[in-house]
Amino acid sequence: MKKVLALTLALAMVMTLALSGCSVEKVDGSGDGSFVSADGSTPSGSGAQTTGNRVVNVCSWGEYLDMSLIEEFEAQTGITVNYKTTDSNETLYSLLENGGSDFDVVVPSDYMISQLIEEDWLQPLDYSKIPNFEKIADRFKNLSYDPENLYTVPYTWGTLGIIYNTTMVDEPITSWETMFSDAYAGNVILIDNPRDAIGMALYYLGYSVNTTDEAQIREAAALVSDAWSSGVYQGKTMDGIFQIMEGGNAAIGTYYAGDYLTMLENNPDLAYVIPEEGSNWFVDAMCILKDAKNVDEAHEWINFIASTDANLRNMDYIWYASPNEEALEMYPAWYEEQYGEPLDPELYEIMAAPQEVLDRCEAYLVLPQEIRTLYNDLWIELGT
């Protein structure tokens, strides 16, 4: 008996080491990432199949793709799409780092892309296979996260701003100050992600959101922390904010423009503002992982998604602005044709912020590891 036990143990150890050692290729990461995604989105594919048929494994965010595009792509090309979702850039990164994934295409945000490039996770794209890349507006090419544009094709872009319920505030919100003052104490929702939350305070204090000056970051975190301890915030959440704002359960929150437009469909009292101090603007872009196994299929998928038609439909479905110049210009007319009524120009401006608004905003750059750890520590201190 003892021998059997010892043998089994030894075998198990070897197997576990082998499994954890050789990372991405072997383990199926089905499900783990989308464990608590608040919208309850279900990935349509189930794990990786690489035998026989052509497949492409895509990982993106919840409610971030018009699913009919998958069917169309599958019908057109015969390639099966395994579409999975995670709920944040950080979750995606940890999936990659743990080797619990076998994705070909990922759609991270700008700052995570530069981290992935820095750590050699991505492979350069073959742009000759992505003719639709030409349609991407020039202002979304060669951005700081990929200065020579070797690795990425932009997917969507947007802004972070304050969402508020016009029936629950006394006057229109214009400044980040609202997020820290006790004017609406107990009625404010804090965004549950240190970069965005401490970022708000950095804009308010007039610092760069990409600062690596520890004193500035601590000052900003103290602002959030003071507001926290004086009871300004009802709670902190990411996707939970849909339910909270749509149901009129809080007056003010911070979230992304595209999601605001989704909330607005369910609660017409909501308004969105990019505060006067400026805010974050972001690009999410499609990339192919270095050890992707379905590289050709991945290129085909990216090219398909970058097409004007796909961008129009996607934009209409997820309410995030497209970087495809044609689609962006055509959208108001396309909308009118689809729904028989003109698109509210104000909503269009919220979705696709005009350049003068973007000029006030700042994109996130990747922060050095010690600053990321500082952010994390400050965030934990907030919860203690």
- Write out the residues near another protein by the rule CB under 8 A: 1, 4-5, 8-9, 11-13, 15-16, 20, 35-36, 40, 88, 90-91, 93-94, 97-98, 186, 190, 192, 194-195, 233-237, 240, 243-244, 247-250, 369, 372-373, 375-377, 379-380, 383-384
Nearer to another protein, 349 or 381 (CB): 381
Place of tokens 């742009």: 127
Distance from C-alpha of 358 to C-alpha of 45, rounded to nearest angstrom: 36
| Least distance (Å) between residue 39 CB and another protein | 10
Query: E strand or H helix at 220, and its extent?
Result: helix 214-229
CA distance 109 to 131: 22
What is the closest distance, in whole angstroms, from the C-beta atom of residue 185 to another protein in the complex?
A: 12
Output 47 or 248, the one with its CB closest to another protein: 248
**Shorter beta-carbon distance to another protein: residue 5 or 215:** 5
Q: 323-334 burial by CB neighbour count: b if 16+ within 10 A, else e?
A: bbbbbbebbbeb
Sign for the CA dihedral angle at 62, 113, 27, 21 comes to negative
Taking the C-alpha atoms of residue 39 and residue 34, their distance in angstroms, rounded to an integer, is 10
Q: Give the nearer residue to another protein in terms of CB position, either 79 or 188.
A: 188
Q: In the complex with another protein, which residue's Cβ is closer, 90 or 296?
A: 90
Closest approach, Cβ 8 to another protein, in A, equals 5
Q: Indicate the DSSP class of residue 232.
A: -
* Least distance in angstroms from the C-beta of 145 to another protein: 16
Q: 153-167: buried (b, 16+ CB within 10 Å) or exposed (e) per residue?
A: bbbbbbbbbbbbbee
Query: Helix or strand or coil: residue 136?
Result: strand
Which residue lies nearer to another protein by CB, 5 or 75?
A: 5
- In terms of CB distance, is 40 or 147 closer to another protein? 40
Residues 1 and 3: their CA atoms lie apart, in Å, by 5
Q: What is the DSSP letter of 32?
A: G
Q: CB of residue 280 vs another protein: minimum separation in angstroms?
A: 15
Closest to 96 measured CA to CA, from 124, 69, 117, 74: 117
Closer by beta carbon to another protein, 355 or else 369: 369
**Residue 299 structure tokens:** 């290129």
Closest contact distance (angstroms) between CB of 288 and another protein is 22
CB of 191 to another protein, least distance (A): 10
CB of 30: closest distance to another protein in angstroms?
16
CA distance 166 to 187: 13
175 vs 249, beta carbon nearer another protein: 249
Give which of 128, 126, 84 is closest to 106, Cα–Cα: 84
Six-digit token pair at 264? 């607005």
Residues whose CB is less than 8 angstroms from the CB of residue 68 and which lie 6 or more positions away in sequence, other chains included: 313
Pick the closest to residue 348 from 321, 309, 311 (CA basis).
Answer: 321
Q: How far is the CB of 310 from another protein (least distance, A)?
A: 30
Going by the DSSP 8-state scheme, the letter that residue 127 receives in this structure is G
